[in-house]
Amino acid sequence: MPIQVLMPALSPTMEKGNLAKWLKKEGETIKSGDVIAEIETDKATMEVEATDEGTLGKILIPEGTADVAVNTPIATILADGESAADLAKAPAPAKQEKTAESAPPAAAKAEAPAPKAAPAPQAVAEPDPEVPAGTEMVTQTIREALRDAMAEEMRRDADVFVMGEEVAEYQGAYKVTQGLLQEFGAKRVIDTPITEHGFAGVGVGAAMTGLKPIVEFMTFNFAMQAIDQIINSAAKTLYMSGGQMGCSIVFRGPNGAAARVAAQHSQDYSSWYSNIPGLKVVAPFSAADYKGLLKAAIRDPNPVIFLENEVLYGHTGEVPKLDDFVIPIGKARIVRSGSHVTIVSWSNGMTYALKAADELAKEGIEAEVIDLRTLRPMDTETIINSVKKTGRAVTVEEGWAQSGVGAEIAARIMENAFDYLDAPVTRVSGKDVPMPYAANLEKLALPSAAEVVEAAKAVCYR
């Protein structure tokens, strides 16, 4: 029976990719290990190798097709003795959840287009106060928004440079620094050895002289090696020096769970860093916020922890086309207004919060969803004003509940709006276990929209 070649997944978070090029033609002989096609994701171009021998029977997805879902059959290979007539016998592709939402494979284009990815939920009821009315918007991935923010700040200020593992030649482990080396050169886009503790300290030392480093961690999980320099050196020096010597530095990189990368690569450090006076901690959700807040972080004279999310990198959103779009650190945003219950979240937690708000609306519960955006300094006022209106609050975070950011929010609500509460503040969080690998267990370990819905209904006594 003919063998199907499926669209491969090239990274833990890849859901679809572009079929850039076929390197073999129909009828050509193929040996195991031959490169038969090139696949593009928004992160990288990769080669597809044949794992079977035979003849390339039929190309199912023509080159130039964008957004081919993982596991979609892209070609068939005929074994010895089989002919094109056998093609009909090829099994139907095993339909999985992921492939079901894919674009039809026939949507071929002449040239491989720019990669597109899943749009982030855009249930924005409230206009963004930072964007003047009538501003032209461009659709960008979060990855591109981050890159543009860095490039703009590097153009503006020669003291800004970026350092980290694979940021230059490789164009970024997650392609966030794509193109920066080409524009700014090796002096300002610096590949470091794999040496987090050391290069974090080098960055802080350079910042103490007035330079403005952007230190990329391949993930914040690896920054645990460097956390002494982040906290003891970066966060405390201004105070310890009586205000003489500070440290304008950004530590950025993906934080929290990606997909199926298990316990040591999935931790959410929101609460760790937000515990530390002297640090600012930013954890945006929308593409526009990623851009505007990263620009603000780079300009900030203090050390800023900029928590990104790998799952969100490929998501698109509307980013204002302004020469200098900067969002002030420390301001939450009401993304959806409602009067029955306040849901507070940030970063990828917003995915669950917004989905839940949609579900709740169907049942007549209007949730007010607050995207915290900055964890330290925390915009307590926005939370409290909302809770005074709704009388109910649910927090949503991917991190653990104990000593978590949700616990802090709950305490602030109790301290500032106790008399307004009609129900106890409820937390939805990551489960109190290291992150498991198995797909079903990982899903269980993370919060879900269903859990948020349940919590919101509970505080509404519904």
Partner 1 sequence: MAAPKKAAASTAQDKTDGGSPPEFTREQELKALRDMLLIRRFEEKAGQLYGMGAIGGFCHLYIGQEAVVVGMQMALKQGDQVITGYRDHGHMLATGMEANGVMAELTGRRGGYSKGKGGSMHMFSKEKHFYGGHGIVGAQVSLGTGLAFANHYRGNDNVSVTYFGDGAANQGQVYESFNMAELWKLPVIYVIENNRYAMGTAVSRASAQQDFSKRGASFNIPGLQVDGMDVRAVKAAGDEAVAWCRAGKGPMILEMQTYRYRGHSMSDPAKYRTREEVEKVRHDQDPIEQVRNRLLAAKVSEQDLKAIDAEVRDIVNASADFAQHDPEPEAAELWTDVYR
Contacts of 37 by beta carbon, 8 Å cutoff, 6+ apart: 19, 20, 21, 22, 23, 24, 47, 48, 63, 74, 75
Q: Are 151 and 188 in contact (CB under 8 A)?
A: no
| Torsion-angle region of 400 (φ positive above 0: left; ψ -120 to 50: alpha; else: beta) | beta
Q: Which two tokens stand for residue 287?
A: 């593409």
Q: Are 2 and 78 in contact (CB under 8 A)?
A: yes
**Which CB, 12 or 201, lies closer to partner 1?**
201
**Which CB, 282 or 360, lies closer to partner 1?**
282
Nearest distance, CB of residue 373 and partner 1, angstroms: 18
Return residues touching partner 1 (CB under 8 A).
Answer: 161, 187, 192-193, 195, 197-211, 228-229, 232-233, 237-246, 277-278, 280, 301-302
CA distance 26 to 316: 36
Q: How many CB atoms sit inside 10 A of residue 388's CB?
A: 15
Q: Are 396 and 447 in contact (CB under 8 A)?
A: yes
Nearest distance, CB of residue 247 and partner 1, angstroms: 10
CA distance 457 to 445: 21
Active site residue 265: yes
Nearest distance, CB of residue 245 and partner 1, angstroms: 5
Catalytic residue among 130, 153, 265, 310: 265
Contacts of 241 by beta carbon, 8 Å cutoff, 6+ apart: none
Nearest distance, CB of residue 411 and partner 1, angstroms: 20
**Which CB, 126 or 228, lies closer to partner 1?**
228
Nearest distance, CB of residue 70 and partner 1, angstroms: 38
Nearest distance, CB of residue 434 and partner 1, angstroms: 25
Q: Are 309 and 350 in contact (CB under 8 A)?
A: no
**DSSP label at residue 42:** S
**Which CB, 114 or 240, lies closer to partner 1?**
240
**Which CB, 94 or 245, lies closer to partner 1?**
245
Nearest distance, CB of residue 408 and partner 1, angstroms: 18
Please report, for residues 333, 353, 400, 429, the alpha-carbon distance to residue 365 in angstroms, rounded to integers and kept in the order given. Answer: 20, 13, 27, 21
**Which CB, 54 or 246, lies closer to partner 1?**
246
**Which CB, 12 or 198, lies closer to partner 1?**
198
Q: Are 27 and 56 in contact (CB under 8 A)?
A: yes
**Which CB, 115 or 278, lies closer to partner 1?**
278
Nearest distance, CB of residue 216 and partner 1, angstroms: 15
DSSP string for residues in 242-256 = TTS----EEEEEE-S
Active site residue 315: no
Selection from 354, 337, 338 nearest residue 346 by Cα: 354
CA distance 14 to 118: 10
Catalytic residue among 144, 165, 196, 318: 196
DSSP string for residues in 313-376 = TT-EEEEE--SS----TT--EEEE--SSEEEEE-TTHHHHHHHHHHHHHHTT--EEEEE--EEE
Q: Provide φ and ψ at 174, rounded to 5°.
A: -115, 20
Active-site amino acid positions: 196, 265
